[in-house]
Structure formats: C-alpha cells, structure tokens
C-alpha cells in the first residue's frame, strides 16, 4: 500500500490552471501530428561495494519508495491538468525492475566523490539488459551508508547529487535499511543523523526519501527554485529545500512539498511524462525579439515575441538573487500567444540584492533552450532596500543591441550610424570607446593635456601581459565585447585574465587612481588584485569570485604603477579579471 503524500489543501490558482491548459493544447497539437510514442522508463540500480551485501529488504523498500515518489509527481502534475503524467517505472512479473550491481572495489575505496566511477561500473550490466545509459534516466542507489539499529545512529558517504536533461540523466542516491515510506509518519524513535543531528525517524525518512524526489528532478532537467510568497501556502518547493519537507504533513509538522507551475510545465514535455519522443534529437533554436524588460513599482515586467524550432509552448523566467547558488531563485511563467508574444511579471524579488533574470523558452520536444547557468537569455538587475528594481543595465544593453550586432559583424559604417542614434549617456560612451581606433602612444608620465582626470586606458603601458589571449582595452576579447560585471556596465577597462601584470610609468605626475575590479560576467573564476607603487604594496583586494570591488589609492610621488591580477590557489581557469573604469587624477 502506497502512503500518499498530500500537499496543502490550498486550491491551485485558476490563472495557473489556465496557463497549464493553454500549454497542453500547444503540446498535444504538435505531438498528435505524426506522433512518435515510446515508453521511457526510469532505470533503477542497486549498487554495493565488493565487500558489502545489499541493504536488508532493499527490493520491497525501494519499490515502496519509488511508487511513493511516482504518486507524488503524478499528483502534482494532475493539479495542473496533466493527468497521468509521471515517471514511468518498469515491472517484470509484477516486480519492480531493480538492477543489482556489485562494485569492483571494497567499501573504503569509495566516497561522496565517486559518482561517475560508480556509474561507469554499472554500464556493462545495463548494456546487457538492453539499457542505453546515454539516452535514459538512471537512479543509482549506493550502499555507502551505515545504520546502527541498536544505537539508532546513521552516517553515510554516498554520492548524493544529479544532473540531466530531457534526453538522459543520472541521480545518485543512498540506500539504508531504515529508509521506508512506512516510517515517514513516525515521531519516534529519535535517532542520531550524522548530518542533521538528533531527529525523529520520520523526519530522517522525509529528508532522504525527499532527497530521492529532489535529485530525480535534477536528473530530469529541473533546476533549483524556491516558492514565491504567493506559493508558500502550498508548502516548500521540491526543487528548493522541499527535499527536507517531503511528507512532513503526515506528521503535522508543516505543509510538505509541492512542485511549482514552472517545473510542471518543464516536465509536461519530458518523454518520461509525455510518452512522446517526437523530435527528441532535433536541432533546437530559439529567439526572442522585441524584448522589453521594465521596472513597474516593485515588480519587473518582461515582454517580447518568442520563436523556436521545434515550436515553443511556454516561457519560464527565473529571478535569481546573488548568492545562494540558484536555490533562492523564484519563477514566473507565460504561455505565448499564437503570434509568439508573451508577458511575464514578478514582484518576488529579494530586497537589497543584485540578481539575474534568466529566460527559458520551452520546446515541445522537451528541450528548455539551455541549462540554468547557460541560457543565452540572461539579464542583470538590482533591487534596492525598499524593493524597487533597477533594470537600467538591461535597458542600456537593449539599446546597444543593434549597434553591437553591426560592430561585432564587422559593419563599421552601420555601427557608426547606429551609434549616432543612441540616447542613453552610458550607451553612447560605450559605443564611442568601441569605435575608437586610437592607439595609445604616450605614457601617463608623457601626458601634456589639460584634463585633471584621465582614463588609464588612454595611456600606453610600459609592460603588459595576460594569462590568456593578448592585452585588450575597453572591451572583452571575443564576441562578448561589453564590459560587464556584478550587474553593471563599464565604459573603459583593462582585460587582465590571471595571471596578468600591467605596468605604467607615472613620472610622479599623478596623485590618485580609482576604479573597480571584478570578473567578467559569464565567468566563474576567482582572482585577487594588487596595486604596487614603486614596488611597494598600495592596495590589495580580497579574493573575488563575483561582484565588483571599488578602490581609491594615493599615488603622490609614485613613478611606477603596477597592476597585478593573481589566479589564486584554485588555478587560472575562467579567471577573466578586469580593472574597470580606472581613472588617474592629478
């Protein structure tokens, strides 16, 4: 008997049901025209090290666990009108198919980092069973936990993560004899969990069975998100921290876990849920034209016209505040009209935080046009302490879009014409600096001009070297071009991929240098910036992984200025450091 997890009794808003219905119309119209159906099963592996037996009663317990999770997904899909959409479990002779696989090494050999190696050890058994692991979704239960039934003590060193898309994925889980859906309601006994301390056996089961449901979501292609304030009446979003609240309502400890409309829409086209494999290997392309992103009070409004191949049936927006990875992102959704137009609005923004808006057009074949951190539709914003969003950086980038396309494409004449139509001051300055072909020929020491303040990039360095590529000024190497970091655009800058050094002869003519340092948006390295004057340290930043740090230093009497960008202990991978808007002043 499956113990059903019931969510909050709150009704699903009619506007969300209407969106789901409209999405389903688009999906089914495409799927039913020249249909291609296929049963795509979830493939379950019970893996144990060479020197350990499989956990007690694993077959019956894992059957109950997976059927429980299957019903959870089914119930959440049905709430939005996607009846009978859920993960597909495979049975043989009325028994759930579980591939029992023994590892090649003893227990002490493996740890939490061993996921890929364990998966590799499973491939041959799966191949013999007719399972192509590269085009299926796998759940590997790893027997790397210790449960002392007498002392009621639990610890584990199992891989516990997942990743995947609509085509394939893998979730690594743990298994242990005390994990059983029958234990979710239990307030006693109190056990000791190596990670969570003293908790009830029921909560322990919620956490780790909920963890299976959560990591399975990642294997199916779902990113993290938390509930918006208006969604919290239903409980905790599964792909936020809902792995810890799964089933807790049966213990009267809270509302339990639920799935957001954003993730229900993503799963609606997944072959596991839809039974359709039409276009599963099709080339995916998407575009958004006439995009407008505006602030309206305490909300951000997004509109545009989306198009794609295969067709688009929904657009998902993630509003992701800085920090916290993407766990604290919130979602908003739109179903495009027949002409592709759509509108999204959200006021679920974190005050006093920078953030990034990411848009995902959902294709009818299951693709979501990129993973969470890789979508091409990403836009920075800021929210002040009063909750008012600032989207000026987005608007400047939108104003620059036509100019940037012409400039990057090598059409200088058209770029110059378009630069003349720009209205925003920052956009004009950026375009002017990109079009400027002047090569610096004088050092700061040789400057004879009248200005009391000058961009450092106007001068020739006496030495310049960077860790990747060649020294570049006032632009990002490659196609990106725009100087952007921490949600802000800059007009001038020195490219300093670590390790980098830039040396300038000042001739003791300048009194100060001020500016900002950071890593180019879209890169995730870690760097440290140092300024030396005549060989002596004048300033050093903390190790910078994101955001922008400002500086201002005294240069009185300094002859030689050296800017150093260090890759730090983790190496130089993705260390696209920049000195932004460095200004010398007399």
CATH T-level assignment (fold) for domain 444-585:
Jelly Rolls (2.60.120)
Residue 374 has a pLDDT of: 58
Predicted pLDDT at 8: 46
**Tokens of residue 117, six digits:** 């190696």
* Domain 285-389 in the same topology as domain 38-274: no
Q: Give the torsion sign (CA, 326, 327, 330, 332).
A: positive
State residue 54's pLDDT score.
Answer: 96
Other beta carbons less than 10 A from residue 463's beta carbon: 12
Residue 522: which pLDDT band, with cuts at 50, 70 and 90?
A: confident
Q: What is the band of 372 on the pLDDT scale with cuts at 50, 70, 90?
A: very low
Cα–Cα distance measured from residue 196 to residue 175, given in angstroms and rounded to the nearest whole number: 17
Looking at the structure, give the CATH architecture of the domain made up of residues 38-274.
Answer: 3-Layer(aba) Sandwich (3.40)
Percent of the chain whose pLDDT exceeds 70: 97
What is the tens place of the pLDDT at every residue in 261-290?
999 999 999 999 999 999 999 999 999 999
pLDDT for the residue 323: 75
- Written in H, E and C, the secondary structure of 421-476 is CCCCHHHHHHHHHHHCCCCCCCCHHHCCCCCCEEEHHHCCCCEEECCCCCCCECCE
Instruction: Spell out the domain ranges in the chain.
Output: 38-274, 285-389, 396-435, 444-585
Which of 189-193, 322-326, 558-562 bottoms out in mean pLDDT, i.e. has the lowest? Answer: 322-326
State mean pLDDT over 222-237. 95
Distance CA 517, CA 523 (A): 14
| Rounded average pLDDT over 156-172 | 95
Lowest-pLDDT range of 314-323, 361-370, 529-538: 361-370
pLDDT above 90 covers a percentage of the chain that reads 87
Scan for tokens 């499989």, then name that residue: 54
pLDDT for 225 beyond 70: yes
- Residue 437 pLDDT exceeds 50: yes
CA 306 to chain centre: 21
Burial of 83 (0-12, 13-18, 19+ CB in 10 A): exposed
Confidence band of 475 (pLDDT split at 50, 70, 90): very high
Confidence label for 1 from pLDDT (cuts 50, 70 and 90): very low
User: Taking the alpha carbons of 332, 336, 337, 343 in that order, is the dihedral positive or negative?
Assistant: positive
Where residue 319 falls among pLDDT bands split at 50, 70, 90? very high
First to last CA, the chain: 80
Closest CA to 319 of 330, 327, 310, 328: 330
Average pLDDT of span 48-58 = 95
d(CA 62, CA 361): 35
Backbone angles phi, psi at 254, to 5 degrees: 155, -175
pTM value?
A: 0.84
Map tokens 């905790």 to a residue. 236
pLDDT band at 552 (very low <50, low <70, confident <90, very high): very high
HSE of 565, CA atoms in CB hemisphere, 13 A = 32
65: three-class secondary structure by DSSP: helix
Please, which residues have CB within 8 angstroms of residue 247's CB and are 6 or more apart in sequence?
3, 5, 181, 184, 205, 206, 209, 210, 256, 257
Average of per-residue pLDDT across 558-563: 97
Question: Would you mind telling me the total number of residues written for the chain in this entry?
Answer: 586
Task: Give phi and psi for 128, each to the nearest 5.
Answer: -65, -25
**Cα–Cα distance between 322 and 547 in angstroms, integer?**
9
Treating both helix axes as pointing N-terminal to C-terminal, what angle do 392-408 and 412-419 enclose, rounded to 10 degrees?
A: 150
Note the CATH architecture for domain 285-389.
Sandwich (2.60)
Confidence of residue 509 (pLDDT cuts 50, 70, 90): very high
pLDDT score of 376: 79
């Amino acid at each position: 008997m499956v113990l059903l997890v019931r969510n909050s009794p709150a009704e699903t808003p009619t506007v969300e049901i209407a969106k789901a219905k409209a999405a389903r119309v688009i999906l089914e119209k495409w799927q039913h025209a020249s249909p291609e159906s296929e049963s795509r099963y979830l493939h379950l592996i019970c893996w144990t090290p060479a020197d350990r037996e499989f956990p007690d009663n694993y077959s019956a317990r894992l059957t109950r666990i997976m059927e429980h999770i299957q019903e959870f997904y089914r119930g959440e899909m049905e709430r939005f009108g996607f009846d009978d959409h859920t993960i597909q479990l495979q049975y043989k002779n009325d028994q759930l198919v579980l591939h029992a696989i023994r590892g090649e090494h003893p227990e002490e050999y493996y740890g939490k980092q061993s996921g890929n190696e364990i998966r590799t050890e499973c491939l041959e058994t799966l191949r013999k069973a007719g399972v192509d692991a590269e085009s299926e979704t796998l759940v590997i239960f790893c027997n790397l936990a210790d449960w002392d039934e007498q002392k009621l003590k639990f610890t584990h060193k199992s891989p516990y993560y997942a990743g995947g898309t609509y085509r394939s994925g893998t979730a690594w889980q743990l298994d242990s004899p005390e994990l059983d859906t029958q234990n979710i309601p239990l307030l006693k006994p109190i056990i000791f969990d190596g990670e969570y301390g003293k908790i009830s056996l029921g909560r322990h089961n919620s956490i780790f069975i909920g963890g299976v449901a959560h990591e399975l979501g990642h294997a199916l292609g779902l990113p993290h998100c938390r509930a918006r304030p208006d969604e919290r009446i239903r409980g905790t979003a599964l792909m936020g921290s809902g792995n810890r609240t799964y089933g807790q309502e049966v213990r009267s400890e809270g509302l339990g876990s639920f799935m957001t409309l954003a993730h229900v829409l993503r799963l609606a086209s997944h072959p596991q849920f839809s039974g359709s494999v039409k276009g599963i290997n099709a080339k995916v392309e998407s575009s958004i034209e006439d995009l407008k992103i505006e602030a309206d009070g305490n909300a951000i409004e997004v509109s545009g016209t989306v198009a794609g191949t295969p067709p688009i049936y929904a657009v998902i927006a993630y509003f992701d505040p800085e920090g916290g990875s993407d766990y604290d992102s919130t979602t908003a959704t739109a179903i495009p009209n027949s002409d592709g137009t759509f509108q999204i609005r959200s006021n679920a923004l974190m005050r006093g935080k920078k953030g990034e808006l990411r848009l995902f057009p959902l294709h009818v074949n299951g693709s979501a046009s990129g993973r969470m951190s890789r979508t091409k539709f990403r836009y920075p914003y800021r929210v002040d302490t009063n909750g008012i969003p600032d989207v000026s950086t987005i608007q400047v980038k939108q104003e620059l879009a036509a100019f940037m396309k012409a400039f990057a494409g090598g059409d200088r004449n058209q770029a110059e014409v378009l630069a003349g139509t720009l209205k925003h001051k920052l956009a004009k300055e950026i375009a002017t600096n990109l079009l400027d072909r002047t090569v610096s020929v004088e050092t700061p020491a040789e400057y004879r001009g009248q200005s009391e303040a000058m961009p450092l990039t106007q001068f020739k360095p006496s030495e310049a070297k960077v860790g990747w590529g060649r020294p570049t000024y006032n632009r990002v190497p490659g196609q990106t071009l725009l100087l952007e970091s921490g949600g802000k655009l800059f007009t001038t800058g020195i490219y300093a991929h670590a390790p980098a050094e830039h040396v300038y002869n000042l001739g003791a003519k300048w009194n100060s240098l001020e500016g900002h340092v950071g890593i180019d948006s879209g890169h995730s390295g870690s760097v440290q910036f140092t300024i030396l004057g005549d060989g002596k340290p004048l300033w050093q930043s903390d190790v910078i992984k994101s955001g922008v740090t400002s500086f201002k230093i005294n240069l009185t009497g300094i002859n030689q200025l050296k800017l150093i960008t260090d890759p730090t202990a983790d190496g130089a991978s993705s260390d696209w450091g920049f000195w932004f808007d460095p200004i010398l002043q007399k």
